[in-house]
Amino acid sequence: MKVGVIGSGYVGLVAGACLAESGNDVVCADIDEGKIARLNNGEVPIYEPGLDPLIERNLEAGRLTFTTDVAAAVKASHIIFIAVGTPPGEDGSADLQHVLAVARAIGQAMEDEKIVITKSTVPVGTARRVREAIEAETDHPVHVCSNPEFLKEGAAIDDFMKPDRVVIGVDSEYARGVLSALYEPFVRTGSPVMFMDVPAAEITKYAANAMLATRISFMNSIARLCEETGADVNAVRKGVGSDRRIGPSFLFPGVGYGGSCFPKDVKALVRTMREYSVDASILQSVEDVNQAQKRTLLERLVERLGEDLNGKTIAVWGLAFKPNTDDMREAPSLVTIEGLLDRGARVVAHDPVAMDEARHHLGARIECVDRNYDALDGAEALVIHTEWQPYRNPDFRRMRDAMSRPLILDGRNLYDPLDMASLGFDYVSIGRRPVLAVASGAARGAEAQVAS
């Protein structure tokens, strides 16, 4: 099939490369000339495991091309995905200016019947506005559908190639037939293609992300209760997650959610619900809990080291909002680091892939090191934000010897508190009582002193 993808950001690149991999002729269009030049040279501007070889392979096979000529991409394609950004406005609503600009460009370039699909995350009613924008520019027939993406950063290729489900809102039987054939190679193992009305598809995307965000904030609230009562949140998590009605996913306590999806999608859904006079208090609480949770590690560090951090070195492991991505949008690490800098601390940070993004967000205000252990030299504390694999089983003796004070604040519960105490660390985690170091060489089973 002839497929056009307008927008070569994260969603557009993954969708275009995966659709080309299944044998379609795909042209990705973007007005960013520098980005398109890099892509045509095989340089992928985002970090996503598996994406680079996928793009390289399909470029060489001629199934995937990149262009700045949006009109040409429209004319060459029968199916056109709109995959441009929808950043949040000041009021939390999704900014649709780029989506609607693409819709107008499609209408102006159309020479025959098209199927136009919103792949961007957009509020309910957007497909109707896209149709209006296209039909204002052309008399050619157009089918406007909604096909929200459910891609996890760090696992996007697998999510597209082997989806749990494909959600498509269609406006005609013709569009349903064409899109059923387009997605058939991806659902041969039995995952469903779920056809529904267009507004339902638009709401499904927001509802899914809001539900996952709710689980995270709920478990972080339970973690706070566990800390106050002396309960172990890991035991609670396992007890709750073993209920088949609930399941274990997205019940891990931490320092809050970030990234490009959950924060803006929760805000946008709150805004949409209020526009339709629907009570949004549950989701507003989800957002409020998350914002408070992002401040947790900073607050606990200040409790131990004081408000004045002048002259103190603080090490940070993990900058991206989650592993296997370089995305620092809305990352909890930014909240901690800004708070440390405001208090005069010297911040030395490491992340396996997000160092360039850190420089973009923070400039020269922090020091970035290539090896995680190098961040620890003379550090008064280590703050862990991201559960990268290299952080899970480090050389603790080397860490303790490098730090001026063996204090670890672990936002991802990577380590066992009693183990850390016996290794000589003061250790603070999420949803578990903090512990103080016991005498060097103490047995694993020794009772660690619980910190206040």
Which helix (H) or strand (E) segment holds residue 175: the answer is helix 173-183
Which helix (H) or strand (E) segment holds residue 37: the answer is helix 33-40
Provide the β-strand partners of residue 381. Answer: 314
Find the domain containing 223 and state its range: 205-293
Shared domain check, 244 and 178: no
Alpha helices in 230-377 (DSSP H): 233-241, 262-275, 281-294, 296-305, 332-342, 355-362
Provide the β-strand partners of residue 144. Answer: 116
Shared domain check, 210 and 172: no
Shared domain check, 276 and 184: no
pLDDT of residue 61: 96
Q: Which two tokens stand for residue 405?
A: 């004070």
Shared domain check, 111 and 211: no
Residue 322: name the closest of 337, 313, 336, 333 by CA.
Answer: 333
Last residue of one domain, picked from the residues 249, 264, 293: 293
CA gap 260, 274 in Å, rounded: 22
pLDDT of residue 447: 45
Query: What's the sign of the alpha-carbon dihedral 111, 115, 116, 120?
Result: negative
Shared domain check, 244 and 326: no
Last residue of one domain, picked from the residues 172, 196, 220: 196
Q: Are 149 and 117 in contact (CB under 8 A)?
A: no
Shared domain check, 418 and 312: yes
Q: In the chain, what is the straight-line distance between the N-terminal and C-terminal CA atoms, in Å?
A: 64
Tell me 94's DSSP state.
B
Residue with tokens 């170091």: 437
Residue with tokens 């609503």: 93
The tens digit of pLDDT for each residue in 204-237 reads: 999 999 999 999 999 999 999 999 999 999 999 9
Shared domain check, 415 and 355: yes
Residue with tokens 């010297």: 346
CA gap 229, 224 in Å, rounded: 9
Strands 407-410 and 193-196: unpaired
CA gap 272, 209 in Å, rounded: 14
Shared domain check, 289 and 302: no
* Domain CATH number, residue 349: 3.40.50.720
Shared domain check, 304 and 285: no
The tens digit of pLDDT for each residue in 79-115 reads: 999 999 888 877 778 889 999 999 999 999 999 999 9
Shared domain check, 395 and 299: yes
Last residue of one domain, picked from the residues 293, 311, 326: 293
CA gap 317, 334 in Å, rounded: 12
Shared domain check, 271 and 335: no
Shared domain check, 173 and 44: yes
pLDDT of residue 79: 98
Ranges under pLDDT 70 in the chain: 439-452
Count CA atoms within 13 Å of residue 58 on its CB side.
26
Count CA atoms within 13 Å of residue 354 on its CB side.
29
pLDDT of residue 98: 94
Residue 89: name the closest of 117, 123, 133 by CA.
Answer: 123
Q: Which residues are catalytic?
A: 261
Quote the Cα angle for 218-221-227, to 5°. Answer: 140
pLDDT of residue 449: 61
Q: Are 121 and 92 in contact (CB under 8 A)?
A: no
**Other CB atoms within 10 A of residue 178 CB:** 18
Q: Are 258 and 331 in contact (CB under 8 A)?
A: yes
Work out how many domains the chain is built from and give that number: 3
For residue 273, the SS3 value is helix
* Domain CATH number, residue 218: 1.10.1040.10
Q: Are 78 and 2 in contact (CB under 8 A)?
A: yes
CA gap 24, 405 in Å, rounded: 58
**Other CB atoms within 10 A of residue 311 CB:** 9
